[in-house]
Structure 1
Amino acid sequence: MNLAFRFSYFGDRFFGSQMQPGLRTVEGEFIEACRLLGLFDDWREANFVTAGRTDRGVHARGQVCSFSTDKPERAIEALNEVLPADIWCTAWAGVPDGFHPRYSAASRTYRYDFFPAPGDTAAMHEAAQEFLGRHDFSSFSRASDRNPERTILAARVFADGPFAVFEVTGESFLWNMVRCMATALERAGRGEAGAGEISRLFRGPVEQRIPAAPPEGLVLWDIDCGVSFTPLPIDEKSRRHLADRHRYHAVMAEVAARLAPDTPKYKTF
C-alpha cells in the first residue's frame, strides 16, 4: 500500500532534511524508524520520497513524505512511537500509485517566524506584494544552474505580538530563496530600502544577491499535495520535547536580559 504522511520537525539538531552520510538528517531518522518497524528494507525499493528539502536549522510544520509498505496499519499506529522526539507525524493518507509528494505538490507555504523588533510592518507587507507573480529570483537565492524564474501566489507580513511574520506561498522555491526574501523585507521595515527596491532587484544585475536571513526563523508551513489527510495525535515524547525547548529558550532569553540589562525582552511563545 502507498502511504503519505504529513509530519513536523524541530530542525535545530539536524544537518538539513536530505540524507547525508554520517550526519543526522530528517530523512535519515525517518527511514531508520521505518526500518526498525519492518515497514521496508530498502528505501529506494519502497520509493521513499519527501516533498522537498530544508536546510540545516530550518523547521517544518507540514512536510510530506510517501512510501510503499505491506504493513500500513503498523506504520500508522507505531511510527510516532519509534521516531525521535524532534520528528512527529501529524496525519496520514492512502495515496494512489504514481503519487510523488514533490511533483504532486501544487504549492508550498513558508513562514519566516519571527522578525524581532520589526519596525514598520505595514511597509514590510507592502514590499512583500512586489514578490507576487512570476519573476527571476536570481538576486534572492544562492547561485545554481536551476531555472531562476519562480511564481509567487500569495505573500503577506503580519504582526504577532512584538514580532512580524512573513508568510509566502509559491509553486516552488529556489535554494535560500525565502530567507533572502525575508532579508529584503526586514530592510524595508527598518526604512533601509524604499518602495520599488524589490522590483529594481528583479531587473538589476545578478551580482547584487541579497544575503539569506538566519535559518532558525524559517518554517515549512504547509504543502498542498491535493491529499485529504487523516489527523494523528502528537505523541507524548514529542510534546515533552517541544515543552523542554520552549523552557530552554525562555531561560536563555532571561539570561541574556540579565547579562545585558538594556537588551529588549520579548514575549516567548
Structure 2
Amino acid sequence: MLGRLVLRGLGLAAAVRGARRSQAPGWFAMDGNMRAAAASQAKRLQSSIEETEKPDENGHQDKRFKGCQEDVEDQNKKFPKRKIVLLVAYSGKGYHGMQRNVGSLQFKTIEDELVSALVQSGCIPENHGEDMKKMSFQRCARTDKGVSAIGQIVSLKIWLIDNVLEKINNCLPSHIRILGLKRVTGGFSSKNKCDARTYFYMLPTFAFAHKDHDIQDESYRLSKETVEKVNNLLSSYKGTHNFHNFTSQKAPKDPSAKRYIMEMYCEEPFVREGLEFTVIKVKGQSFMMHQIRKMIGLVIAIMKGYAPESIMERSWGEEKVDIPRAPGLGLVLEKVHFEKYNNRFGSDGLHEPLEWAEAEEKITVFKEQHVYPTIINTEKEEQSMANWLSTLSLHDFNTTSSGIKANDRNSKSNNLEGSDDGCADDSD
C-alpha cells in the first residue's frame, strides 16, 4: 500500500516537472487547477502514510515507526530523575517484614507492595523493580515479621512525575501509605546517614502484674509505683552496653554487640476497648535483631517475678544468659533521625532538613486508624501477650549455656521470623 502511494507521488512529481518544461519558464506558470490538484494529492498521500504508522488491530506496529509513539515510560522520562526520600507508614500484620525477598513469592513483604506501586505509578521503569539496585534503593530499617512503622524512611531515584504521592498511594493498599517526599543529595543513603532510630512498643499493662500477688487478667491497672519501678529498670539500659545476650549469633567479645541507648522509658497507661495499654519508647543509634524485644522481655520477666533484678548486670557480661523475647505485635518504628545530615545540608538552600512536622497530622491519623487498632484487636483476639507470658515459667534464668541452646532451638521452632543484617534496627 505504502509503495503504491509513493509511486503515485513520484508520478505526480514527474507530471509537475513536465508542465514546468512545456510552459512558461518558472514554477508559477503552472495553472491554478494543476497546482490545486498537486496539493490535494500530496495531502492524501501524507494522510495515507500516517495511517500506515498506526498499529494494526492486533496491536502490532511497523518497526520503522516504533519510535514515533511514546508509551507511558517514555513520557515519564521527560520528568527529572532525582534522588528522594519517602516517609512510609504501614501496618506490618500479615507481612514477613520490610525487606523484599527477591524470587520468593511465598513470603510477602512491605517492599513488594511498595516497588509494585512505584512501577504501576510510572515512577520507575519495570526493570528497576526487578533489580532495586538500579534505583539506588535503601531502607532505613528492616522491620521484622509483623512489625509496623509510622516513620520509616527509604531513599531511591525516581522520575518526579506530577502528583507523585497521590499516584503512588493509589497503587498501594490502605494500610501502607506514603506520607511525605523530600529531595536529598545524590549520595544520600537512608541507612548509612541515619544517626538514630526511635521505636515504641505497645503492650497491655497486665504484662507487669506480679505473678504472685497481682490480678492477672484484663481488669489489672498499672499503679504509679509500678510505672516508676518499670522506668527504673528501663533506664538501666541507657548508655553503652554489650548486648550479645539480646540477639543471636553474636559472640561476647564481638565489638558490634556493643550498642548505645540514648533513652528508654514507659509512658502513662491508657484504656482502649476495656483493656489498659502502655507504650515503652526507646531511642538508640542502632539495634540488632530482636534486641528491643529481648530488652522489654527481660524487664517483664523481672516485673512478673520470674527473674531477679541482678540479671540485667549479668546479661552485659560474657556469661550466656537466657533472655525471653517479647512478641513482635506491639513493636513500631516511630521515627528515624538525621541530625548530622540536617546540620550539613538542611539549610543549604537546595535541600530540606529531614524533619516531618508538616506530616505529623497524617502520621497521627494513620497510627489511630491502622496501627493501634491492629495491635488492640489482635491482642484481644489472639492474646499474643497472654500466651507469651505463660511461657516465662519455662525459662531458667540461671541456666547453663547448653540449656540455653536447647531453649533457643525450641524458640526458633515455635517462632520463625525474618532477620536482618545486624546493624540497622530491631530486626537487623
The normalised TM-score by structure 1 is: 0.83
Task: Name the aligned partner's letter for residue 260 of structure 2.
Answer: T
2:193 is aligned, of 91, 104, 108, to 104
Q: Which has the higher strand share?
A: 1
Report the Cα distance in structure 2 between the residues aligned to 1:155 and 1:197, rounded to whole angstroms.
Answer: 18
How do 1:1-269 and structure 2 match up within 5 A?
Answer: 1-20=82-101, 21-22=104-105, 23-41=107-125, 42=128, 43-117=132-206, 118-119=208-209, 120-144=226-250, 147-161=256-270, 162-206=276-320, 208-225=321-338, 226=342, 227-229=354-356, 231=359, 242=370, 246=373, 250=377, 253=380
Gap change, CA 1:134 and 1:204, over 3 Å in 2: same
Report the Cα distance in structure 2 between the residues aligned to 1:39 and 1:50, rounded to whole angstroms.
Answer: 17
Gap change, CA 1:15 and 1:251, over 3 Å in 2: closer
Task: Name the aligned partner's letter for residue 160 of structure 2.
Answer: K
Question: Would you say the 8 A contact 1:9–1:88 is kept in 2?
Answer: yes
Question: Would you say the 8 A contact 2:155–2:189 is kept in 1?
Answer: yes
Q: Deviations over 1:46-97 (max 9, x none)?
A: 1111101011111111110111112254433322221112211222211111
Report the Cα distance in structure 1 between the residues aligned to 2:260 and 2:375, rounded to whole angstroms.
Answer: 38
Deviation of 1:199 after TM superposition, in Å, equals 1.7
Question: Would you say the 8 A contact 1:121–1:189 is kept in 2?
Answer: no
Q: Could you list the runs of 5+ residues in structure 1 that have no partner in the other structure?
A: 257-269
Q: Deviations over 1:1-57 (max 9, x none)?
A: 111111111111111111112121011110110011111121321111110101111
Q: Could you list the runs of 5+ residues in structure 2 that have no partner in the other structure?
A: 1-81, 210-225, 271-275, 343-353, 384-428
Larger Rg: 2
Question: Would you say the 8 A contact 2:290–2:325 is kept in 1?
Answer: yes
Report the Cα distance in structure 1 between the residues aligned to 2:380 and 2:113, rounded to whole angstroms.
Answer: 30
Report the Cα distance in structure 2 between the residues aligned to 1:11 and 1:247, rounded to whole angstroms.
Answer: 9
Q: Aligned residue for 1:266? A: none
Q: Which has the higher helix share?
A: 2
The normalised TM-score by structure 2 is: 0.54
Task: Name the aligned partner's letter for residue 38 of structure 1.
Answer: G
Deviation of 1:219 after TM superposition, in Å, equals 0.7
Report the Cα distance in structure 1 between the residues aligned to 2:378 and 2:111, rounded to whole angstroms.
Answer: 31
Q: 3-state DSSP class of the match of 1:67?
A: strand
Question: Would you say the 8 A contact 1:4–1:94 is kept in 2?
Answer: yes
Question: Would you say the 8 A contact 1:49–1:67 is kept in 2?
Answer: yes
Higher relative CO (Cα under 8 Å, sequence separation at least 6) belongs to 1
Gap change, CA 1:232 and 1:220, over 3 Å in 2: closer
Number of aligned residue pairs:
252
Gap change, CA 1:252 and 1:183, over 3 Å in 2: closer
CA RMSD in angstroms, aligned pairs only:
2.9
Gap change, CA 1:215 and 1:102, over 3 Å in 2: same
Report the Cα distance in structure 1 between the residues aligned to 2:379 and 2:312, rounded to whole angstroms.
Answer: 35
Q: 3-state DSSP class of the match of 1:13?
A: coil
Q: Aligned residue for 1:267? A: none
Question: Would you say the 8 A contact 1:123–1:188 is kept in 2?
Answer: no
